[in-house]
Amino acid sequence: MSDAVLQTNALSAGYSRRVIVDGLTFSVSAGKICTLIGPNGAGKSTVLKTIAAQLPVLSGTVALCGDDLSTLHEKDVARRISVLLTQKITAERMTCGDVAETGRYPYTGTLGILSAEDKRIVHEAMELVGAAHLYDTDFRQISDGQRQCVMLARAIAQQPKIMLLDEPTSFLDIGHKLQILSLLRQLAKERQIAVIQSLHELDLAQKFSDTVICIRSGKAERIGTPEEIFSGDYIASLYEIENGTYDPRFGAAEPAAAQGDPEVFVIGGGGAGIPVYRRLHRMGIPFAAGVLHENDVEYPAAKALASVVIPEKAFEPVSEDAVSRAMSVMQRCREVICCTEYFGEMNKGNLRLKEYASVHFPSPRCCENEGADL
Amino acid sequence: MEKRRILRALICFLGLLLLAGLLFCLSLMSGSSRIAPGTVFDILTGQQTDAAAFRIITDIRLPRTLSALILGGGLSVSGFLLQSFFRNPIAGPFVLGISSGAKLTVALLMIAALQRGFVMHSGMMIAAAFVGAVLCMLTVLLFSGKVKNMAQLVIAGVMIGYICNALTDLAVTFADDANIVNLHNWSKGSFSGADWQDIRAMAVLVLISLAGAFLLSKPIGAYQLGESYAENMGVNIRVFRLLLILLSSALSACVTAFAGPVSFVGIAVPHLMKGLFGTAKPLILIPAAFLGGGVFCMGCDLIARTLFAPQELSVSTVTAVFGAPVVIFMMLHRAKERSIS
């Protein structure tokens, strides 16, 4: 990995001799985005602070563009790394332009007066993040999302080789989250910056990272591509999820299903059942769902929320066996809700279920009357 | 915007300079015997006209006015440095107990001098005040590491101030009574009594500290964003903090050694200047705070000695009357701003 802009080797990070993360070896190349994920308190921020030379390296090494961090002067570090931190700044009587201009600090002289070139760079950075119109606005009078954009402009104006961002999207609305992460990707690619960030939004981490590092119990438990990390049950075990499930394919977190024997049977398919599942789950009513093909859009939601799911293999017609199992579950339910009107060739079995329900249950509901009490 | 800012700064500096000149002349003219502006001008330009007036101007009024200008400016810059350092708008040498600490050590030195019968010179006074100021500053720092809350820090500072004042009172109580009156007068804060040797000493010390602070304006500006960001910009935090402590202690020590504790200048003036100049940039605000502090103290001193003449008020009384409302206004204003954002 000769093109690595950032390389750590057996790095131990922590506070005054108390090691928090140990034996961390990874590298980030120019133009790539590396994301640290892991539970709260795992030490993601500690790692970032250590790389930014704000905490001493306890053991191991950090190399920036091939030079060991400990041999670099503060100013050289400042010209290679810029940061965006979680702490809010209290900028007294500063305009957004003033805040962004502080990014030029490592390049200005003794009194810190900006040259015309410095100003041009700051303006360009403000334009890039779409905050040029805020240049003369007081920094305290803008929204959290705008503030994060200005802080990003500040970090860009510093013209770093590496950008470190600690939870850059926390507290932002989804629009700003996407804006910030898209900007980072653009920056990484166009300016060949290595981006290292920590994120709590797993779905976004999956979509915007080239490498994902999972920090847990003082170690980098796994390092890999998003495809390697976001597969199977790993995320659930990384975050020790007990009260629900996380589906890494869709980035969907679901609460745990209501416990107990199913009271309601839902005939779903094609996504029409999802609102019903959510409603029943909110009301705490255990329910059964079926028969659902394993490739049906609502299959993951049913799997997470229903106490019983009667599945069918993808692309196969609903089998006789599945129908009879569904009927036996239905018999123990007090009510049936049918969410679908159309029954195609592959799920003719569900049509039989509906007919069975209309015989055995006084009034099988359809989910069209969504306002109805369940 | 950039041009408007520079223009605003220029206009404000010009206005402050004019005001300083006006107050300077007024201070020389007014007092128990009024001296006409023409006479003052003649004396200052060396054309001696009246021996009595000459003595009044050069021995009493000129040193007093100069010390108000220099010490007031120093006090205000010291306040600005402390506010930047603690990132606390009401930090100041008086609030954090640093002035009181300096006062205690100077009082102890004075009493020792009276008892042992040696003559003190300005260097010893400054050194004693500096020791007291640094000790108090370190105590406050010790607290600031423990408490994260701004209000708690100020409370700690105020308490340190009370302890130092109590110890000073105790020392004065058991000192020889003959010179207590002198000590008592000084301990309330006054710009009078400085001779030309003192003026020279304070001018050198304050101007050097001021130059030092001005040269630190770049890291101070970075520090305003918070320690972590300053560090990322390449500021050596340890060296920077040490320099800032030494500078602000030296400034408040110098003021306390010559004028005793003067309240509210350190908080109110930097805040007024921020409002006037519309910025908190140290590059502008350090000279502005110096000039503003000088103007504020010359004005307050003028009021202190002319309002109820021949009875003279302590200058702290006047600075408190003008300074305290500024602090209250500032806190209300900040609360409003916080509720907006």
A87 contact residues in B (CB cutoff 8 A) = 226, 228
The DSSP H or E segment spanning A330 is helix A320-331
Q: Which chain A residues are Cβ-neighbours of B221 within 8 angstroms?
A: 102, 112
Q: Could you give the CA distance from residue A184 to residue B306 in angstroms, rounded to a whole number?
A: 65
For residue B338, what is the nearest residue in chain A, using CA coordinates?
Answer: A140
Contacts of B234 in chain A (CB under 8 A): 73-75, 77-79, 105-106
Amino acid in position B163:
I
> What integer pLDDT is reported at residue B31 of this predicted model?
79
CB atoms within 10 A of CB B233: 28
Q: How far apart are the CA of B82 and the nearest CA of chain A, in angstroms?
A: 15
Q: Cα separations (Å) of A109 from A2, B163, B211, B216?
A: 34, 44, 16, 12
- Residues of B with CB below 8 A from A79's CB? 234
The closest of A267, A358, A341 to A306, measured between CA atoms, is A267
Quote the pLDDT of residue B106. 86
Residue pair B40/B315 in contact (Cβ under 8 Å)? The answer is no
Residue closest to A339 by CA, chosen among A284, A302, A286: A302
Q: Quick check: B217 and A93 CB within 8 A?
A: no
**C-alpha closest to that of B9 among B207, B274, B330, B268:** B274
Tokens 């140990």 appear where? A22
For the packed helices B180-187 and B98-116, what is the interaxial angle rounded to 10 degrees?
A: 170
- Of the candidates B1, B221, B340, the beta carbon closest to that of A112 is on B221
Radius of gyration of chain A (CA): 27
Entry field: residues in chain A: 374
B10/chain A closest Cα distance in angstroms: 17
Comparing alpha-carbon positions, the chain B residue that sits nearest to A77 is B234
As a whole number of angstroms, the distance between CA A137 and CA A129 comes to 15
- Contact assessment for residue B315 and residue B333, using Cβ atoms and an 8 Å cutoff: no
Q: Which residues of A touch B340 (CB under 8 A)?
A: 140-141
Burial (0-12, 13-18, 19+ Cβ within 10 Å), B126: buried
Rounded to 5°, angle at Cα A162 from A157 and A165 = 80
Q: How many CB atoms lie within 10 A of CB B62?
A: 19
Residue B142 CB neighbour total at 10 angstroms: 10
Residue owning tokens 């500053």: B137
Q: What is the predicted pLDDT for the residue at B103?
A: 86
Sign of CA dihedral B79, B82, B86, B91: negative
Cis peptide before A99 (omega within 30 of 0): no
H or E element, residue B24 = helix B2-29
Chain B partners within 8 Å of A90 (Cβ): 87, 226
Contact B75, B93 (CB under 8 A): yes
In order of their start, the domains of chain A are 4-89+144-246 (3.40.50.300), 257-365 (3.40.50.720)
Query: Cβ of A140 and B226 within 8 Å?
Result: no
List the strands of the sheet with A335-338, edge to edge. Answer: A308-312, A287-293, A264-267, A335-338, A365-366
Domain ranges of chain B: 2-340
Residues of chain A below pLDDT 50: 1, 369-374
B6 close to B283: Cβ distance less than 8 angstroms = no
Cα–Cα distances (Å) from A63 to A7, A96, A106, A210, B236, in that order, read 5, 33, 20, 20, 20
What's the alpha-carbon Rg for chain B, to the nearest Å?
20
- Read off the tokens for B287: 């000279």
A236-239 LR contacts (CB < 8 Å, sep 24+): A238/A37, A238/A38, A238/A39, A238/A214, A239/A38, A239/A39
pLDDT (tens place) for every residue of chain B, 341 residues total:
678 888 999 999 999 999 999 999 999 888 777 888 888 888 888 776 777 888 888 888 899 999 999 999 999 999 999 988 888 788 888 888 888 898 889 888 888 887 777 777 778 888 888 899 889 888 888 877 776 666 777 888 888 889 998 998 888 777 766 565 566 666 677 888 788 888 998 999 999 999 999 999 999 999 989 888 999 999 998 889 889 888 988 998 888 888 888 888 988 999 999 989 988 899 999 999 999 999 999 999 999 888 887 788 888 889 999 988 888 888 787 766 655 44
CB-CB: which of A106, A111, A140 is closest to B283? A111
The confidence score (pLDDT) of residue A2 equals: 52
Cα→Cα distances A36→A43, A212, A222, A322, B338, Å: 10, 6, 10, 43, 33
Given this model, what pLDDT does residue B193 score?
78
Q: Provide the total of helices (H) and of strands (E) in chain A, helices listed first.
A: 13, 17
Question: Which three-class secondary structure state does DSSP give residue B35?
Answer: coil
Identify the CATH homologous superfamily for domain B2-340: ABC transporter involved in vitamin B12 uptake, BtuC (1.10.3470.10)
Cβ–Cβ gap B228/A102 under 8 Å: no
| Contact (CB<8Å) A97/B1 | yes
CB burial of A41-62 (b: ≥16 within 10 Å; e: otherwise) equals ebbbbbbbbbbbbbbebbebeb
Residues B298, B69, B203: CA angle, nearest 5 degrees:
160
Alpha-carbon distance A89 to B229, whole Å? 9
Question: What's CA B150's distance to the chain center, in Å?
Answer: 22
CA atoms within 13 A on the CB side of A17: 0
